[in-house]
Amino acid sequence: MINYANAIPTKNEKLVKWVEEWAGICKPDQVYWCDGSQAEYDRLCDEMVESGLATRLNSAKKPNSLLFRSEPSDVARVENRTYIASEKQEDAGPTNNWIDPKELKKTMLELYDGCMTGRTMYIIPFSMGPVGSDIAKIGIEITDSAYVVTNMIIMTRVGTKVLEVLGDKGEFIPCIHSVGKPLAKGESDNGLWPCAPIDKKYIAHFPETREIWSFGSGYGGNALLGKKCLALRIASAQAHDEGWLAEHMLILKLTSPAGKVKYVAGAFPSACGKTNLAMLIPTIKDWKVETIGDDIAWMKYGKDGRLYAINPEAGFFGVAPGTNMESNPNAMISASKDTIFTNVALTEDGDVWWEGIDDEPKGTLIDWKGKEWNAATATTPAAHPNARFTAKASNCPAIAPEWEDPAGVPIDAFLFGGRRPNTIPLVHQSTSWEHGVFMGSIVGSEITAAALDLEVGTVRRDPFAMLPFCGYHMGDYFAHWLAVGKKSTEDKLPKVFFVNWFRKTAEGKWLWPGFGDNSRVLKWIFERCDNEGKAIETPIGFMPTADAIDRTGINVSEADMKELLSVDKEGWQKEFDSIKEHYARFGDKLPKALNDQLDLLEGRLKNA
């Protein structure tokens, strides 16, 4: 017999039956249907504070905000425990971990059996994207974690309105999650973060049946199943089948002094300034940047043949270390209230602190492991390098009015980029959609310290910044991008650009100031979208002339600008071997058009 803590708020028989099946498997003490209200959020926060799992921050410093400390083994996405369980292994491709779906479900069902004993099973109805949007999708997450519920309320649209849109017969993406730590009668977590050992953690995606099963982790993208699991891994497979795009991209609105508007979407691997760009404050007079989204874009064609994008999320799940009032003031303001912090340090006056924040730590802190920490004697960081803040997008001072438009915004330009100290210029533009897809397929960042068993100076390829997030074979993903381009005409498709803010001199000096000054490159991109802006055709694509980028008020010399916009023939020759090795992974699934583009580029550079 299921013990419902509140009334079932839907007549969708498929949904109710699904919940009942999982309640029978997981055996919770009670089942609670979430309504996403402020009262519900506040009550759950109070319960977690009372249990010792959360610390309430000083209301004068961070109003309505909490701090959590996770178990040290549960601090980030666990890629080696993340699976794409497609029916055929070849459909998962070489970039994903694959397990036979029947075998994986058998293993996980044994783990789920009784896993919620002593806990509440929460049912979270959530919309990815504005509720009712034609581009949005509805998910239902089952979880035994109040931390997950509160984060999902910030990160997605949760509540009864979602169930109203779902209706009695609507389709939803089923997402099941458990921290994997049942409680015996009378037992509690004693304020400790609940999770399972690493060898019991599974984050499983079933692309054909559009299911997500997660077990053993309570953290981030492993547990907030609307984030990477639904919005990218499952959505990318759906987008492939249905003819749209689900991408790991920021979306920004760029307004010129004349009031003209362009919308830009950009894909960047980690540590390449993606969130900073999404919330950029321009340094050029009378230009304006506003944020639509900082991480994910879903795009479908409108009736006018243009791609329209929504941000499927409602919040920011940002990395705290390195975020400050210089690097990203809008993120800092977004996280100044109504925020959940995880694995940052706690100050004596009840505020948060992390490495790279604006001020030096005063007095004794409590670090992310709950230990006393003093800057003078510390040998380890106070905040975990992957410490996070979960903040409402509506609290961002740069949020664009259109960010919740159910129709989405028309995308004028795509940006791809990576952290490259040489070879790749500051900015160049593709000559066609096909050439642009080629550029996206070779995105990479250079390894600057021994990591991931890669040699320093090695380029780690992260095509379209989707390497950990593509829910099917990446060769098919490239083909999908090429096919999407054929559904419209070149004049209506977004222009495609590659940017590199990280070019250095031979002595290791940054050539470009970055941050707010990246608006100067955005201005040129804006102009190019209207086929304006000074440009020359080079072997790698269109590039700005030496005087095309506004350098008023910044210290970038003519010589530096020349270096930033040079075509490094020798560097590109070395690049070809790396690209060919990268392409070889995809075998006969690699579209011929991309190999042709590589051959054409090689020929143009040879003859230049």
Burial state string for 247-266 with b = 16 or more CB within 10 A and e = fewer than 16? bbbbbbbbbeeeeebbbbbb
CB 157 within 8 A of CB 127: yes
| CA neighbor of 238 nearest in space, from 203, 206, 210 | 210
Question: Looking up tokens 């929460």, which residue turns up?
Answer: 122
Closest CA to 122 of 202, 201, 41, 63: 41
297 three-class SS? strand
CA distance 430 to 367: 47
Residues 265 and 520: their CA atoms lie apart, in Å, by: 17
- In the chain, the amino acid numbered 269 is P
The three-state secondary structure class of 446 is strand
- Which of 214, 264, 35, 229 has the alpha carbon at shortest distance from 137? 229
Rounded distance, CA 73 to CA 56, Å?
Answer: 23
CA distance 461 to 440: 10
Residue 493 parent element (H or E): none
Q: How far apart are CA 129 and CA 7, in angstroms?
A: 26
Residue 193 burial class via C-beta count within 10 angstroms: exposed 0-12, middle 13-18, buried 19 and up: buried
Helical residues (DSSP H) of 369-508, grouped into ranges: 433-441, 474-485
Helices (H), 27-169: 38-51, 89-92, 101-112, 146-155, 160-166
Tokens encoding 126 = 């959530």
Count of C-beta atoms within a 10 Å radius of residue 397: 12
Catalytic status, residue 115: no
C-beta of residue 153 within 8 angstroms of C-beta of residue 41: yes
The percent of the chain in helix, strand and coil, each rounded to the nearest 5, is 30, 20, 45
Q: Are 10 and 161 in contact (CB under 8 A)?
A: no
Q: Sheet holding 409-410: strands in order across? A: 245-247, 297-301, 307-310, 409-410
- List 34, 45, 229, 272, catalytic entry: 272
Catalytic site residues?
272
